[in-house]
Amino acid sequence: MTLFDHPEFSGHEQVVFSHDGATGLRAIIAIHNTSRGPALGGCRMWPYADETAALEDALRLSRGMTYKAAMAGLDLGGGKAVIIGDAKTDKSEALMKAFGRAVDRLNRRYITAEDVGTTVADMDTIRTVTDHVVGVTGGAGDPSNSTAHGVCIGILAAVRHKLGRDTLDGLHVAVQGVGHVGRFLCDYLHKAGARLSVTDIDRAALERAERDFGAAVVGPDEIFGLDCDLFAPCALGAVVNDATLPGLKCPIVAGSANNVLDAARHGAALRRAGILYAPDYVINAGGLIDVARFALGFDIETARTKLHRIDGTLTEIFARADAEDRPTADVADAIAEERFIR
Ligand SMILES: NC(=O)c1ccc[n+]([C@@H]2O[C@H](COP(=O)([O-])OP(=O)(O)OC[C@H]3O[C@@H](n4cnc5c(N)ncnc54)[C@H](O)[C@@H]3O)[C@@H](O)[C@H]2O)c1
């Protein structure tokens, strides 16, 4: 396994491999960049096939956090931790404490948070051994509502730019995934007068969306080809790909999901197809802004102001993409790179 030649290595400042014999902890903490402030990013616990897969995830996700924090105007850098193991069978209080001690040794260069496979209760456990954790009980809690609020603000910016409309009233929005964020998003959109089509693989979640928001339910594959005003991916990554892109009939793609597309390949293809893409890490930063409030100690009004800035940031990206005839994802990366020192 190589690090410096790894395809996902992008000038990371520090990568820490942490082991604890007593608890079986095997963790990787990747600190991509701290030029704006301490690196904040979740701790993911996942049964990775091997260390190479775990390293790849840590490198990729920590880099993404640098860009997300910079675009949200937060005095934070990008980091991410991964614990190799199955959260259902391998997790213990002692293991989370051992991880917390590894975080503590980094002296606030890295601040951890909840992610896939970790919970608020785990953050509470980590908090017993280090201060460098957010998302604990009584703190930010579940950031999904803030994420959805930010996505809704971003959707309006995209609609204004692409459709020349200042309201979501009567728009047809296709939402993929009505889980934590998707459900809050449906609520915001429904209240704004949008007509919803939704899909999910969870029957109960679909029934709730049907009942609460009058949403029309469509099949998981059908959502891509729907004739609608906007497609909001709120489930998995990589949903705009070689197979789905040619069938998209929407003029806008804007949702909460991370890593919606391979920017290098599909950003330009979306632009050629006349589809406006709201870059994922810009539009879905609401949750990060929420937890950053606790890491950096700013008040709720400041958080609200930062959340509403998603509108202005996206509007700037869309305008620059048009002026330079470039994919929005490229423009977002370029603006983010102006905001941290590499
Ligand atoms: N939670 C946050 O605050 C936050 C912040 C930033 C980004 N995100 C991203 O937003 C997305 C959603 O996050 P979440 O917290 O709501 O997750 P979640 O697990 O609560 O919801 C995801 C939903 O997608 C559904 N789903 C899974 N596979 C599907 C498929 N093939 N077709 C249709 N639906 C499918 C699931 O059943 C679930 O209901 C993720 O990509 C996440 O990384 C979340």
In SS3 terms, the chain reads as CCCCCCCCCCCCCEEEEEEECCCCEEEEEEEEECCCCCEEEEEEEECCCCHHHHHHHHHHHHHHHHHHHHHCCCCCEEEEEEEECCCCCCCCHHHHHHHHHHHHCCCCCEEEECCCCCCHHHHHHHHCCCCCECCCCCCCCCCHHHHHHHHHHHHHHHHHHHHCCCCCCCCEEEEECCCHHHHHHHHHHHHCCCEEEEECCCHHHHHHHHHHHCCEECCCCHHHHCCCCEEEECCCCCCECCCCHHHCCCCEECCCCCCCECHHHHHHHHHHCCCEECCHHHHCCHHHHHHHHHHHCCCHHHHHHHHHHHHHHHHHHHHHHHHHCCCHHHHHHHHHHCCCCC
User: Is any ligand 1 atom within 6 A of the Cβ of residue 201?
Assistant: yes
CATH of the domain spanning 144-337: 3.40.50.720
For residue 243, the model assigns a pLDDT of 96
User: Is any ligand 1 atom within 6 A of the Cβ of residue 200?
Assistant: yes
The distance from CA 239 to its chain's CA centroid, rounded to whole angstroms, is 14
Q: Which residues, including other chains, have CB under 8 Å from residue 172's CB and lie 6 or more apart?
A: 194, 195, 196, 197, 227, 228, 229, 230
Nearest residue CA, atom 41 of ligand 1? 257
Q: Which CATH number applies to 14-64+76-127: 3.30.230.70, 3.40.50.720, 3.40.50.1980, 3.40.50.10860?
A: 3.40.50.10860
For residue 1, the model assigns a pLDDT of 66
Å from CA of 167 to ligand 1 middle: 26
Backbone φ/ψ region at 108: left (φ over 0), alpha (ψ -120 to 50), beta = left
The best mutation among 114, 147, 181 to test binding of ligand 1, ranked by most ligand atoms within 8 Å of the C-beta, falls on 181
| Domain assignments of the chain as residue spans, ordered by start | 14-64+76-127, 144-337
Q: Which of 207, 148, 211, 153 is nearest to 182 (CA)?
A: 148
C-alpha 65/C-alpha 76 separation (Å) is 9
Å from CA of 257 to ligand 1 middle: 7
User: Is any ligand 1 atom within 6 A of the Cβ of residue 33?
Assistant: no
User: Is any ligand 1 atom within 6 A of the Cβ of residue 244?
Assistant: no
Reading the chain (342 residues) residue by residue, the pLDDT tens digits are 689 999 999 999 999 999 999 999 999 999 999 999 999 999 999 999 999 999 999 999 999 999 999 999 999 999 999 999 999 999 999 999 999 999 999 999 999 999 889 999 999 999 999 999 999 988 877 889 999 999 999 999 999 999 999 999 999 999 999 999 999 999 999 999 999 999 999 999 999 999 999 999 999 999 999 999 999 999 988 999 999 999 999 999 999 999 899 888 899 999 999 999 999 999 999 999 999 999 999 999 999 999 999 999 999 999 999 999 999 999 999 999 999 998
For residue 41, the model assigns a pLDDT of 96
For residue 39, the model assigns a pLDDT of 98
Evaluate whether 14-64+76-127 and 144-337 have a shared fold.
Answer: yes
Q: State whether residue 53 is helix, strand or coil.
A: helix
For residue 264, the model assigns a pLDDT of 84
User: Is any ligand 1 atom within 6 A of the Cβ of residue 147?
Assistant: yes
Å from CA of 233 to ligand 1 middle: 8
List, for residues 169-216, the tens digit of each pLDDT value. 999 999 999 999 999 999 999 999 999 999 999 999 999 999 999 999
Partners of residue 80 on adjacent β-strands? 30
User: Is any ligand 1 atom within 6 A of the Cβ of residue 234?
Assistant: yes
Partners of residue 83 on adjacent β-strands? 27, 45
Nearest residue CA, atom 25 of ligand 1? 177
- Kindly name the residue from 68, 80, 97, 306 that is annotated as catalytic: 80
User: Is 80 designated active site?
Assistant: yes
The atom of ligand 1 lying closest to the CA of 257 is 41
pTM above 0.85, yes or no: yes
DSSP conformation letters of 259-278: S-B-IIIIIHHHHHTT-EE-
The best mutation among 200, 221, 283 to test binding of ligand 1, ranked by most ligand atoms within 8 Å of the C-beta, falls on 200
For residue 263, the model assigns a pLDDT of 85
User: Is any ligand 1 atom within 6 A of the Cβ of residue 154?
Assistant: no
